[in-house]
Chain A
Amino acid sequence: MVLAGEIGVVQPIIKVDRISKNFGAFQCLNELSFEVAPGEKIALIGPSGSGKTTILRILMTLETINSGHIEVDGDQLYHVERNGQLVAADEAHLHRMRQKIGMVFQLFNLFPHKSVLDNVTLAPILTKKMKRADAERRGMELLDMVGMADKAKAMPAQLSGGQKQRVAIARALALSPKIMLFDEVTSALDPELVEEVLNVMRKLAAETDMTMLLVTHEMSFANDFADRILFFDGGRIVEEGKPGEIFRHPKQERTQAFLKKIIAAGQRI
């Protein structure tokens, strides 16, 4: 595990450099910059509309950017070098870069016409040309890890939200990405199903050296899980630090106000 203080020694795996993103007249990200060290677990918190989900979606290439640069694992994400100049990347480059990144969505987005196991094996078979038998063996291992091996033959519609999300995590892991993005993965779940998904993520954090970025409203989970917290507001990072610093001794007024609201809403930190 790499802590915030060690950045600068280690080459960052993600380098976000002055990214701006507009949706019409609304400026969602405003020259956002941050770096992530390999293996780091980062929680992105902040009020809704602060841009934290948008930066995850940009890292997954689900949105375009208006300006700025992103480096992932040593390569530009949205740019390629041509004749010594950085130009916009083509689809082939984005396809190569996406191999390094996996994402789990708030609404699961499982493929409803495919069984649990087929959801997990589809991408390895198609994009890594893995043999079906190998993909299924690996798929079963992953389903076992998320506690869903007994549902391998089930269809997504037969599962609870928590089960769907655990399958979605296995599906994202099947491509062995270096970076995993979790976008409010428990927000759509009934309260009693949240813990089973968080347990899987704890296990993942403990057992792998994957870099993980997580957008969440679960402050106590962010506190246990993350090496570092980024507090977003107005499309920028207002404050960052170790969970203990951010949650116990927030320096910025906006962080304090946000945490006060969260506590007033009944969450324990």
Chain B
Amino acid sequence: MEWDWEFVWEIMPMLLAGVRITILATILGSALAAVVGLVIVIARRSANRAVSRTVGFLAEFIRGTPLLVQLYFIFYVLPDIGILLPPLLAGVIGLGLHYGTYTAEVYRAGIENLPRGQWEAAKACNLTPVQTWIHVVMPQAIPPMIPALANYFIAMFKETPLLSAITVLELMNQAKSVANSSYRYIEPITLVGVFFLVISLISVIGLRWLEKRFGRVA
């Protein structure tokens, strides 16, 4: 077994194309997770019991089952009822739904940590509910959430190789196809690890900065 630099340069363009898809899936998945989490939190706070219970149950269900199973379901089972999704879109939906249930918990904790007196002061100032959310609740609740949200962002990034199971040509899938056609595994799979490590490390540095910047409220 020998490391072949020439082979490395040869496969690099394909791997970089995979990196692009991996990053794209992570960013789109995070954006969707941020929105899904918000919808879950609002629905669970709803005064309508049927809404809050149903959404609560669905969120627990999604969080309690593996992402891989959900991806298979979205990509291979939904076509049976006529919903045919392109691989990347199916993957982004899977990531967004799955991680949305986690971001919902982050939002919930952030909102519940706000002292009751802040809601009461907003009411005594006669702010409307919408004004209260925009000017009092969110500016205080969001900064402490940022480190936890960034953590899930990195976790999601490291789970994107699962998308190879539904034919998304992300980094892992590109490496596998290179390996399968050339019968060389050491370079492509090592490079996958290196790419993930480098991007994770950069993200962790960013995360530490975010923690310092937003972790503690003055």
Contacts and interface: CB of A to CB of B under 8 A. Distances in A.
Interface of A: 60-62, 91, 95, 98-99, 101-103, 105, 107, 109-113, 122-123, 126-127, 155, 157, 171-172, 175
Contacts of A127: 125-128, 131
Interface of B: 115, 117-118, 120-121, 123-129, 131, 135-136, 139-140, 217-218
Main secondary structure of the interface of B (DSSP, over half): helix
Nearest to A96: B126
B118 A109 contact: yes
A61 B140 CA distance: 24
Contact of A126 (B117, B118, B124, B135): B135
A155 B218 contact: yes
A103 to B, nearest CB: 4
30 contacts: A60-B123, A60-B124, A95-B126, A98-B123, A98-B124, A98-B126, A101-B124, A102-B124, A105-B121, A105-B124, A109-B115, A109-B118, A109-B120, A111-B118, A111-B140, A112-B140, A112-B218, A113-B139, A113-B217, A122-B127, A123-B126, A123-B127, A126-B127, A126-B131, A127-B126, A127-B127, A127-B128, A127-B131, A155-B218, A172-B124
Contacts of B123: 60-62, 98
A204 B168 CA distance: 70
A157 B126 contact: no
B126 A99 contact: yes
A113 B140 CA distance: 7
Contacts of A60: 120, 123-124
Given A98-B123, A101-B124, 12 more contacts: A60-B120, A62-B124, A95-B128, A109-B115, A109-B118, A110-B121, A111-B118, A112-B217, A113-B217, A123-B127, A127-B131, A175-B126
B213 to A, nearest CB: 14
A111 B121 contact: yes
Given A105-B120, A109-B117, A109-B118, A123 B217 contact: no
A99 B140 CA distance: 25
B125 A123 contact: yes
B124 A122 contact: no
Contacts of B136: 111
Contacts of A111: 118, 121, 135-136, 140
